[in-house]
Every structure is written in C-alpha cells, then in structure tokens.
Amino acid sequence: MWDQIKSNRMRSAVLVMFMCLLLLGLGYVIGLFFLDSIIGGLAIAAVIWAVMSLVAFFQGDNILLSIAGARKVSKSDDPQLYNIVEEMTIASGLPKMPDVYIVNDKALNAFATGRNPEKAAVTVTSGLRAALNRDELQGVVAHEIGHIKNRDVLLMTITSVMLGAIVIISWYATRVMFLTGGGRSNNNRNSAGPQAILMIIGLVLMILAPLFAQLIYFAISRKREYLADASAALYTRYPEGLASALEKLGSSVTPVKAANKATAPMYIINPFAKRNAINSWMSTHPPIADRARILRSMSGSSLADYENAYGRTHDGKHILPKSERV
C-alpha cells in the first residue's frame, strides 16, 4: 500500500512541477514584453504562486467548506453518519477522525478536504444522505477517507492554486497585450522581426497555458479516483456498496449549487448536471459506469483484486505499481 501511495506521489509531483514551469513561463513572457525585465516577470509569477499556496495550505479547507456552505455536525446530530466515519477511520488507520460536515443541497455528492490526515474533513450533501442506504453511504465515506489517507486532498488543493494563478496571470496578460499593442516598444528596426515572433509565441503561451494546466489538473484527479475506489473496497470489504452508490449518484441530474470548475475535481463525481458517459480526456472524473464495473468485477476486496478487475476492464492495463501486483 505504501509503495502504491509513493508511486502516485511521484507521478503527481512530476505533473505539479510541470505546472510550476508553466507558471514561470508565463512570468517570463510578462517580464519580456511588459516589464523589460525577465527576472521581474518571474518574480511576479513566483510571488503570486507563493501567496496563493500559503493561503491554500493554511486556510484552503476552511475556504472550500465555506464556499460549499458546509455545516459541521456532531454525533448527536447524525449518529449513523458519525459512526460510519468513525468505522472507516479505524479501518483506514488514520491517526485522527476527520470532522463531519453536511451541505444543504439536493444534489447527490461528497468531498473531502484538509491539508493532512490530522486536519481533515468529510462532507456529504443532504441529498446524498437521504438517498443512500448504510452500505452505500459507507462506501462513499470510505472513498473520501481514501483520498485523505493517500494525501490526495492536499495535492488537489495545491494544484488548484497553481491553476488559479496561471488563469489569473494569463487573463490579465492577454488583455494588457491587446490594449498596449504588444508590450514595451522597441525602436530598433532590426529587432522587429524577432520581437514579432516572440510576441506571437508569448501570446500563444498565455492563451494555451490555462488549458494545459487544467488538463493536467483533471488528469491528476482521474488517476486518483481509481485509487480512492480501491481504498474504499479495502476499508469496507464490500465493493458493491460503493458501486451501488456511484450508480445512484450518476443517475442524479441535480447539480451541486456551490460547485465550480476549480472545485469540481474535489467531489466524488462530476458535480455538474451534464456528465460524459465516455472517458473523455476533458472530464474531471472517470466514467461512473466504468468505476462501478471495476468494483463489481472484483473477486475480493484487496488492492490486488482491484488491480485484476481494472486490468480486465481496461485491456490488461495496470493502475497499481509493480510491487503491488499479484
């Protein structure tokens, strides 16, 4: 299990590093065209990323819960939900039970947040709470605790911060470029050609950077949803519970009111009403039917069983590192 988490962390670290380079590339273009100082542009990009990262690390969970309109509940408020979170905490080996929140929303969905296993929260919508039986609810909670156990939540928070920084910088830079006619003036006619080429490259980078960053963000999310499903099967010892829950969630056409493109990958399924039935490279989550089929194909509830089931439904492909395969 630890080898699996380590492998996913390494893959995600590479993607995060690429997003950092993309952000620095935007800073380079800004410094070249608008500040007459490449170092200045890089410094601006780095400062923006650093400030947003610090805010995300220390207050990201509170911000997300506030945006969602989540309300903290105690054991007396909802004994069954609280007990399920307790059970899955013990099964997963988390050092501390996550806080429990409910969002007053008819949509069927859930998410986890927090910067580490010692400071985390599991949140479900009131619609999900009412629609699922105990086994299904346990599967959903186990999935979210799987994200916490595997340190997915902090990664997604930091990645979303970089995405936000890239989008903000690109938005302002492209508008300033159009308003100023391409940045700082250059009186040397001999450099007009190279300057025009650099301007075009910079403009293309600023337009495409947010798209590239968001595709990377979505790719991180999709890979980790499978791992969280596998973890849920391991903790509950009952893959059918999560499979049934996913199908109920997928059949709901009610969108999550507080969800947006930045927070969408945090949810257990796409929080918007329209969902792709196929494994689109633009989607935030794997297809629900695919996830349920893998869970129902498991001959047991171990990670190896999930790996075998994934391979059968994906033409022999692997989701776990070699050390975890049987």
Domain membership of residue 105 (yes or no) is no
Domain membership of residue 82 (yes or no) is no
pLDDT digits (tens, 9 = 90+) for 199-224: 676 677 677 777 777 777 776 777 78
Q: Which of 87, 118, 136, 144 is catalytic?
A: 144
Tokens of 325: 């395969």
Q: Is 87 a catalytic residue?
A: no
Those residues with Cβ within 8 angstroms of residue 213's Cβ, 6 or more apart along the chain or in another chain: 19, 22, 23, 162, 163, 166, 167
Q: How many domains does the chain have?
A: 1
Those residues with Cβ within 8 angstroms of residue 278's Cβ, 6 or more apart along the chain or in another chain: 287
Domain membership of residue 27 (yes or no) is yes
Q: Out of 55-64, 69-78, 95-104, pick the least confident.
A: 55-64
Domain membership of residue 128 (yes or no) is no
8 Å CB contact between 177 and 206: yes
**Per-residue confidence (pLDDT) for residue 37, from 0 to 100:** 85
Distance separating alpha carbons of residues 208 and 226, to the nearest angstrom:
28
Distance separating alpha carbons of residues 1 and 14, to the nearest angstrom:
20
Question: What range does the domain containing 168 cover?
Answer: 2-64+154-210
Q: Residue 188 region, left (φ>0) first, then alpha (ψ -120 to 50), else beta?
A: beta
Domain membership of residue 234 (yes or no) is no
Tokens of 75: 């054991």
pTM of the full structure: 0.83
Residue with the larger pLDDT of the pair 4 and 127: 127
Q: How many CB atoms lie within 10 A of CB 86?
A: 15
Domain membership of residue 21 (yes or no) is yes
Domain membership of residue 165 (yes or no) is yes
pLDDT digits (tens, 9 = 90+) for 218-247: 767 777 899 899 999 999 999 999 999 999
- Predicted confidence (pLDDT) at residue 67 exceeds the cutoff of 70: yes
**Per-residue confidence (pLDDT) for residue 278, from 0 to 100:** 47
Domain membership of residue 52 (yes or no) is yes
**Per-residue confidence (pLDDT) for residue 210, from 0 to 100:** 74
Tokens of 262: 């930045």
